Structure 1
């Protein structure tokens, strides 16, 4: 789940979003052209407006008082690469593979709204040459993402049918499993910009004037309100429609080795900021199912990139293997068997156990943040 964005016409005024750019600068990074991005509460300064196609590194520093999100986006808001939850005073390096064309670098203070944006022109006809193993990784990951979308639709239709039948218990039973494919591939779904706010936004993530739709709106009806009315039945149909749109569009997503690596890290960030805290499924308490889906999706991306990552950085691959295994083992203690998604209700997981889960996520997230750099060495 990410916070929503609206189009430029709904953005705050340009006067409130002043920013500074400098002239074109060459890279000082080994992994491509480096752009210094300095984010603050109302500005987004970038060190260049033009870079050559290939591997581009954003060297991000948040000098504001709010957590921010930094993205490379197409003009239509499709996301090429992003890093969410960059805290005040925090620095982060984001590596992406970018083709020639016109883009924007967006800083989103508070991770809401259109954000502060700078134009970015990427020159040249082609990107860097890839190891053929990376081309295979991208092809296999694209097939995986499509497979997850295809498997999600019948599960969501089962969930929606139970709601339309007024069957509260059947709808509750179908809820968590209907989300699994989405959670495994969430960064790809989020890359379109407009689908996630329709299907996966929480009440506290709504923008002013936005109607609450999707899984979490229905979750509240089932667990908190304990009722299914005419509105919920309509929203169930809309959820199916929106996810069919996702299913059709997912094959057109921009996928590169670096977007796979960055997406794997984003999935762990999703766990840290939503699942471990219990905020994601706050009514159903099925957070551990989402948690497992995020970890499975991150692990799939890593496993596909591993042949190259292990060659370029053997120590990193060994550490990732170790930390994925440790987190998987810990998660297994919260379910009845390794083949089911029948996890313990998260409201039954105590403070110390949540801390243990959080520590395991952080232990994996740190080396996972280095995967993109290892892939492009």
Structure 2
């Protein structure tokens, strides 16, 4: 593909994968540099934005090759506030609370909230003119057609390129806000986060928001890349190891919408906590809606293992109060929350949180185990607290 790699950091064997301190992460509604999580399957390519291009092909009337400059000048830019979340966020909790899983031992920090800007993917595809059989019902059948997204700039641990795909029906809905992001938080993307172009697919597992994008293909089939076919799927409980998982990979759909979720960042498990003047504990965290069903409308917190619950105060960094904004603009964002709850003094205390989004999806008490440790969304919890 026509992507010039200027410099490379990290290796296929040891790609950059890290997450921030969770208490630091929730200090800002819009996550600043230094607090992003990094998830990579290979080296970080340092691309030349002046020469980088994206090829659009497949089932289109006019295959095209677009430069970054053309994306900026020929297509209207669109701003999206969206949380990007790894499918394996909270994997450590699944591993320790239920049983062993495969994958990087993410805690609760494989997520961040950012302001993304770039042209809508549907505008690019309309420019290329989709050409599919007229009897193919792709607008209402998400399995009928797909948009394959790829980066051929560097090899990965399990393949010699990285690819993913989303239903064409999602890509073509303007309200789904799928964009080719050129900016993050008002600045050009960093190399670690996809410079010069990445896709951002709000509400969907971060694996679909392909970094260093260089090819878009409209097809009646999903991407054939390893990470679309053999990863990022909620396998059935019968898949207990690599061998038993093999028969399920092709029959299990890829993860798209992430589930409603919340976590407790403060206090952290095992911490000594002093009661405040009202004999309560201050509790803070973040919450995320399910897929397209945002924003979060309620977070409840319990200091007595679910006997009683109090409503947390939700915050969108003041953006919910901006004129002309509100819930629709923030449907893809996380919210930060704070509550003060009664917790009895003593050892071994625990605090729970549960979120509800605008479509009524409620975070469950227990999470579903899956071999790859993805989509864990049991109650947020701070446990083994010593309260005095």
Normalising by the smaller structure, the TM-score range is: under 0.3
The structure whose Rg is larger is: 2
* Structure number with higher helix proportion: 1
* Structure number with higher strand proportion: 2
Taking structure 2 as the reference length, the TM-score comes to 0.27
Taking structure 1 as the reference length, the TM-score comes to 0.27
**Higher RCO (C-alpha under 8 Å, 6+ residues apart):** 2
